[in-house]
Amino acid sequence: MKFTLGLCILACALAIASAASTYTTKFDNFDLDMVLNNKRVLANYIKCLNDKGPCTNEGRELKKLLPDALASDCSKCTETQKKNADKVVSHFRKNLPADFDSLLKKYDPKGVYRAKHHL
């Protein structure tokens, strides 16, 4: 009986550890292109991330996870999330450099990640 209980506890612990090894995938199918190509929607996300406007569920989740993702080099990101992050950074650098700079100042005030990733 103790052995079975121990196995159940171990299985639960492994399931929890496994679940925490990556960020939630519930937004991996989010239509990122729609946001990047819609100035109004994108502006609302930028306001959310800069604490200057309300956030959608996705915006709140991103805002919550962004500091950890930066600090850990996106080690908990899925491949889709890494690909989307690269897409967003590229879009901002090319099309919205002032907004990109404001987000860098907020989320990387010491320039640690900028230097590390040549931003």
- Say what the pLDDT of residue 13 is: 40
Phi, psi of 15 (to 5 degrees): -65, -40
Q: What is the pLDDT of residues 26-61, one digit of tens each?
A: 888 889 999 999 999 999 999 999 999 999 998 999
The three-class DSSP label of residue 75 is coil
- Does 1 score more than 50 pLDDT? no
CB atoms within 10 A of CB 36: 19
Question: Two tokens at 44?
Answer: 């609302």
Angle between helical axes of 57-71 and 39-49 (0-180°, round to 10): 60
- Say what the pLDDT of residue 28 is: 86
Which domains are assigned to the chain?
Answer: 26-117 (1.10.2080.10)
Q: What is the pLDDT of residues 3-14, one digit of tens each?
A: 333 343 444 443
Side-chain-facing half-sphere of 95: CA atoms under 13 Å: 12
Q: What is the pLDDT of residues 64-111, one digit of tens each?
A: 999 999 888 899 999 999 999 999 999 999 999 999 999 999 999 998
